[in-house]
Amino acid sequence: MEKQTSVSNFDLIVTIVSKGWGEEIVDATRAKGCNGGTIIPGRGTGINDKKKFFGILIEPEKEIVLTVIEKEKTQEVLEAIKVAGKLEQPGTGIAFVVDLKDVVGIL
């Protein structure tokens, strides 16, 4: 069986923010034409995440938002995510784009 090569017209925007900010990110992406996103709970281990309470290290809870978006909308949606998540401020989160090779299940 011959392997088919395909090209996707989609990117994946991965956004990692503090717990409670995931919905803000999804709302911002919807305002720019996305159908939604997936919010996954996570745990932070970055240098800005290390906080102590009575000498006990607390690992902050995070939310990881996965957004599949058409390539032509990627930069506009990424900018909306930056503004909604206040990502220009240190320690608030990160967003990055991954090129998707193959995508199924999206109309």
How many whole angstroms separate alpha carbon 66 and alpha carbon 97? 10
Contact predicate 100/38, CB 8 Å:
no
Class of domain 15-67+78-99 as given by CATH: alpha beta
* Token pair listed for 51: 């906080």
User: Mean pLDDT for each consecutive 10-residue tract of the chain (107 residues)?
Assistant: 61 95 96 92 70 64 94 96 95 94 82
Domain boundaries, the chain: 15-67+78-99
Secondary structure class of 29 (helix, strand, coil): helix
The CA-atom distances, in angstroms, between 89 and each of 33, 48, 82, 92, 97 are 25, 12, 10, 6, 19
What is the reported pLDDT for 16? 95
